[in-house]
Amino acid sequence: MKIDLLIDGRDVATDSYFEVRDPGRIGDVVGLLAEGTADHVDQAVEAAHRAFRFWKRTSAGERAALLMRAADLLVKEGDGVIELMARESGMLLPINKAEIAMAANVLRDNADLAPPFLAPQVFEDDQSWVGVEKVPVGVIACIIPWNAPVILTMRKLAPALACGNTIVLKPAPSGAMGLSILLKKMAALFPPGVINVLHGGPEVGRALSTHQKVRKVSFTGGGKVAREIMRNAAATIKGVQLELGGNDPAIVLEDADLKDAVPKIVGGVFRRSGQFCFAIKRLYVHEKVYDTFVDMMSAEVAKFKVGHPMDPGVTFGPMNNRAQFNFVSTLLERTRAAKADVIELGEKLAPERWDEGYYLRPALVRNAAVDLEVVQVEQFGPIIPVVRFGNETDVIRWANEGDLGLGSSVWSADFDRATALSRKLEAGMTFINNAGTSRLGQRNIPFGGVKQSGIGRESSEVGLAEYVDYHAINFHR
Amino acid sequence: MSALKVDLLIGNEAVATRNYTEVRDPGRFADVVGLVAEAAPEEVDQAVKAAHAAFPAWSATTLEQRSARLEKAAQLLESIADRVAAVVVGETGMLPSDIKAEIMGSAFAIRDNIEAAQEFLKPKQVEDEASWVSVEKVPIGVIAAFVPWNAPIVLMIRKLAPALVSGNTIVIKSPPQAPLGLGLLLNEVAALFPAGVINVVHGGNSVGQALAAHPLIGKISFTGGGKAATEIMKTAAIGIKGVQFELGGNDPAIVLDDADLDRLMPTLVAGAFHRSGQFCFAIKRIYVPEAMYDRFFERMGQELAKVRVGHQADARTTFGPVNNANQFAYVKALVERARASGCEVTEYGERVDPEHWDEGYYLRPALVRRPNAKSEIVTCEQFGPVVPILAYDTEDEVIAMANDTEYGLGSSIWTSNFERGVAVAREIESGMTFINRNAQSRLGRRHMPFGGVKQSGIGTENSELGMAEYVEYHAINYHK
């Protein structure tokens, strides 16, 4: 398996290739990934820039129709890459399958929303006529993380293309192959140069975020890289849209239906082995139900079978990469060293091969103190602190501490109480009695965070607005 | 007469500082208009903390309460316009009629924002059998607002009004060349609001740097030049702060062959030379059909010849000085370089007070005949009273020339044909295109997002679209 760059509708080979290794079996090379250079970035951006001149003139309806075809293509081709995705990223097959289905919905939602969104506003009186038109921005650079690469790509590609922009995408090396195969097929539906795909390290990212002809950078990933990107973008006054990490609190009130809530909370914490931006990163449970909750949650977590995503029966995969594995492993050690009550749960499916991958069992930190490191940081892995609280004032203060504000969740049987509490949380999103968006939410919620969890939003009309400039025309009579 | 002295404003207290800077009249250097306090980094910190302390209570007020206070502010602006205008005229070099109109227009900008907020701030709610979704707009926190000297009151109000109506608090950094009128006005406006909602700091780059870098600032709104914007964005990156930038332009005016020159020339001249060319969306270059070129040039010269250049407060004056030494030196050198490169530059207008000409930053308006399309005078933003006039043959050619720039703020089309004007407008890469007058109509001020594309800015101001810069979205998703 060898993945090249995709520039102007053509495969472009490079001088060197990365080995992509299976994070669940580090000895296995999954495939080779082209390593682009700044020259390739220039070629890709120029191709996107040429394509922009005619792509922006297509009608919103034509573009929406192509996105609908792209959605069908994802559904049709998805099963062909879910194993490859599992082997390169460590994510489970059903998770990859569900991700691709959701990604197809993202394409469809944008195809539906864009044409009415793009209609101009017109105002008129006896002195003048005003048309407020929405025009594409130009070439968009999209920088994609490894943890859910297909859906996180479509959240950028779909609105960017629907609004008439062209794109240059750069996936993360540890989640690039399955995505690139899908993108190559999808790109063939569009004129050459509308979708371009680059691979490579920081040099490619830097060349992309500084290129004169890139007009906006959309990035999903970590805060450190985001700061670099924004600094790079500053020299040529590029807009940035940043969807960054979170330290999302889940607040379990004493009236929550624990039987319903616990399995959902466990999914919200440990899906993708905790490696998703709006995963629950800290749990605050009311003291009246704390012990019961911890017992129920432990029993649920104990059911996980940790192993290689291709092995039958596995329900919990490895960490995606060495850096993340090391970070979570040492965080776990420091948490233990701080005398916190850590329990690891779940079963090792193939204990004899445990050290061949970046495996970690899911862990709970019981009776976690509010100032414990694992409460304060974004762990992005399978260790979850469970903090006890006595009153809402305290828990709101604790939830709002820190510089991050992506998602959050509230668990309660009382709608009014839950929404009132939600409104006091400093977060871009609050989920009530679930750990993510409903289907209606996927279409209507501007996805993103406040404070240092990001700039701008994705999805919905608010997300589409990231991919247009306004052109106001004022005719004086 | 005791000198006017403007302090910092922190938590509705006038705060005196160690150092004060003299602000001089650009039309008569010897005259000190007043003294302005120079903030130290600790005072910037105090101002941001005051705004942060005021935020919880202010963001919890109702839209009705905030709207009522802002309406009072609009009325206050109207009642103190003359008094404030006198100071702004002295420090900026702008004409009294322009500044008076600016302040009255600022009152309208406040009312436009109040009107826009009523619908805009409502949550959007949808529901089906599985779930309920509410997308709510919440204030960001403390906004840092950087204001330039060229139209300080209205450009400040464009930030203050949407920020406050949507529940944010604000720290305003005044322009060192025009801090006094703004400071006086805000002292009175701030008193209408709870302490800490409006704070004002004065000073130079170090004050701006301290403000942009402050961890309690949630967003930065800046109007000014691209170089400073880049610095601010780099600083903002450290704290992942959002930025809204309204920067310069190199705005083309495209005269079509069916334009009625007799009717349009006075307003076209104003579009280029109003405020001595010192406004962001001033016409910076003019494209005229080859067949019409000589007639156009001559007609524009006749119009410019009527101009009387002099001290802004002199009743005979119709054209004031440029605002400051840097801008004066830049424009003069630019004209010299244009001449040196072989361009024909003609100056127009009469000197009101020739014997005092050298006592201010006076420049007569000038036109540059047929410069090369790639020459500096065409490609730079001059921000002063010299405008190049170029000839073109075809619409495709003029559209290509108009778009051959990294700027994209405003633009204008001059034609007798509405459809043709709009069709050409749509080909221009800019945030705004004005047809037959280089300004917004009253309707345009209410509904047009004001801002630029490409390197002319990030985000926009005015209208509901500009208000969106001052909110975060909080989506609440209840699962049934």
Let me know whether A316 and A413 are in one domain.
yes
Tell if the CB–CB gap between B460 and A470 is shorter than 8 Å: yes
Let me know whether A342 and A321 are in one domain.
yes
The residue in chain B having the minimum alpha-carbon distance to the alpha carbon of residue A212 is B406
Distance CA B237, CA B243 (A): 9
Q: Give a yes or no: residue A158 inside a domain.
A: yes
* Contacting residues of A for B464, CB less than 8 Å apart: none
Tell if the CB–CB gap between B124 and A223 is shorter than 8 Å: no
Distance CA B307, CA B321 (A): 12
Collapsed DSSP state (helix, strand, coil) of residue A416? helix
Q: Give a yes or no: residue A446 inside a domain.
A: no
Q: Give a yes or no: residue A7 inside a domain.
A: yes
Considering chain B, tell me which residue range(s) the CATH 3.40.605.10 domain(s) occupy.
4-247+459-479
Top-level CATH class of B251-441?
Answer: alpha beta
CATH number at residue A411: 3.40.309.10
Number of domains in chain A: 2
pLDDT in single tens digits along all 480 residues of chain B: 467 999 999 999 999 999 999 999 999 999 999 999 999 999 999 999 999 999 999 999 999 999 999 999 999 999 999 999 999 999 999 999 999 999 999 999 999 999 999 999 999 999 999 999 999 999 999 999 999 999 999 999 999 999 999 999 999 999 999 999 999 999 999 999 999 999 999 999 999 999 999 999 999 999 999 999 999 999 999 999 999 999 999 999 999 999 999 999 999 999 999 999 999 999 999 999 999 999 999 999 999 999 999 999 999 999 999 999 999 999 999 999 999 999 999 999 999 999 999 999 999 999 999 999 999 999 999 999 999 999 999 999 999 999 999 999 999 999 999 999 999 999 999 999 999 999 999 999 999 999 999 999 999 999 999 999 999 999 999 999
Model pLDDT for residues A112-159, shown as the tens digit of each residue: 999 999 999 999 999 999 999 999 999 999 999 999 999 999 999 999
Give the pLDDT band of residue A345 (cuts 50, 70, 90). Answer: very high
Q: Give a yes or no: residue A171 inside a domain.
A: yes
- Given a contact cutoff of 8 angstroms between Cβ atoms, the answer to whether A329 and A298 are in contact is no
Furthest C-alpha separation in chain A: 82
CA distance A353 to chain B (A): 40
Average pLDDT over all residues of chain B: 97
Q: Give a yes or no: residue A449 inside a domain.
A: no
> What burial class does residue B311 get, using C-beta atoms within 10 Å of its C-beta: 0-12 exposed, 13-18 middle, 19+ buried?
buried
- Given a contact cutoff of 8 angstroms between Cβ atoms, the answer to whether A402 and A373 are in contact is no
* Contacting residues of B for A231, CB less than 8 Å apart: 233-234, 237
Let me know whether A209 and A171 are in one domain.
yes
How remote is the C-alpha of B70 from its chain's centroid?
21
Q: Is A277 a catalytic residue?
A: yes
* Contacting residues of B for A233, CB less than 8 Å apart: 233
Distance CA A124, CA B443 (A): 8
Is the ipTM above a cut-off of 0.90?
yes
> What burial class does residue B31 get, using C-beta atoms within 10 Å of its C-beta: 0-12 exposed, 13-18 middle, 19+ buried?
middle
Give, in order, the Cα–Cα distances in Å from B150 to each of A11, B91, B110, B147, B423: 52, 10, 19, 9, 32
Tell if the CB–CB gap between A230 and B237 is shorter than 8 Å: yes
How remote is the C-alpha of A299 from its chain's centroid?
29
Distance CA B304, CA A15 (A): 63
Give the phi and the psi of residue A239 in degrees, each rounded to 5: -70, 155
How remote is the C-alpha of A232 from its chain's centroid?
22
Model pLDDT for residues B273-316, shown as the tens digit of each residue: 999 999 999 999 999 999 999 999 999 999 999 999 999 999 99
Tell if the CB–CB gap between A472 and B474 is shorter than 8 Å: no
Let me know whether A230 and A312 are in one domain.
no
User: Please, which residues have CB within 8 angstroms of residue A338's CB and are 6 or more apart in sequence?
Assistant: A372, A373
The model carries a pTM of: 0.97
Continuous H helices in A5-143? 38-55, 60-78, 82-89, 93-118
CA distance A27 to chain B (A): 39
> What burial class does residue B395 get, using C-beta atoms within 10 Å of its C-beta: 0-12 exposed, 13-18 middle, 19+ buried?
middle
The tokens for A195 are 């979708």
Closest CA to B432 of B464, B468, B415, B456: B456
Q: What is the domain range of residue A63?
A: 2-244+456-476
CATH number at residue A60: 3.40.605.10
* Contacting residues of A for B476, CB less than 8 Å apart: 419, 422-423, 429-430, 432
CA distance B355 to chain A (A): 41
Of A137, A434, A472, the CB nearest to B479: A434
Give, in order, the Cα–Cα distances in Å from A344 to each of A284, A360, A370, A422: 19, 9, 20, 31
Let me know whether A214 and A274 are in one domain.
no
The residue in chain B having the minimum alpha-carbon distance to the alpha carbon of residue A463 is B473
Of A237, A447, A465, the CB nearest to B458: A237
Q: Give a yes or no: residue A183 inside a domain.
A: yes
Model pLDDT for residues A227-244, shown as the tens digit of each residue: 999 999 999 999 999 999
Let me know whether A233 and A276 are in one domain.
no
Let me know whether A175 and A275 are in one domain.
no
Q: Give a yes or no: residue A201 inside a domain.
A: yes
Tell if the CB–CB gap between B426 and A137 is shorter than 8 Å: no
CA angle A39, A40, A45 (to 5 degrees): 100
Q: Give a yes or no: residue A177 inside a domain.
A: yes
Let me know whether A221 and A306 are in one domain.
no
* Contacting residues of B for A124, CB less than 8 Å apart: 443
The tokens for B226 are 């691209």
Q: Is B159 a catalytic residue?
A: yes
Top-level CATH class of B4-247+459-479?
Answer: alpha beta
Let me know whether A178 and A316 are in one domain.
no
> What burial class does residue B469 get, using C-beta atoms within 10 Å of its C-beta: 0-12 exposed, 13-18 middle, 19+ buried?
buried
User: Please, which residues have CB within 8 angstroms of residue A386's CB and are 6 or more apart in sequence?
Assistant: A283, A285, A290, A293, A294, A297, A364, A365, A366, A367, A368
Tell if the CB–CB gap between B130 and A439 is shorter than 8 Å: yes
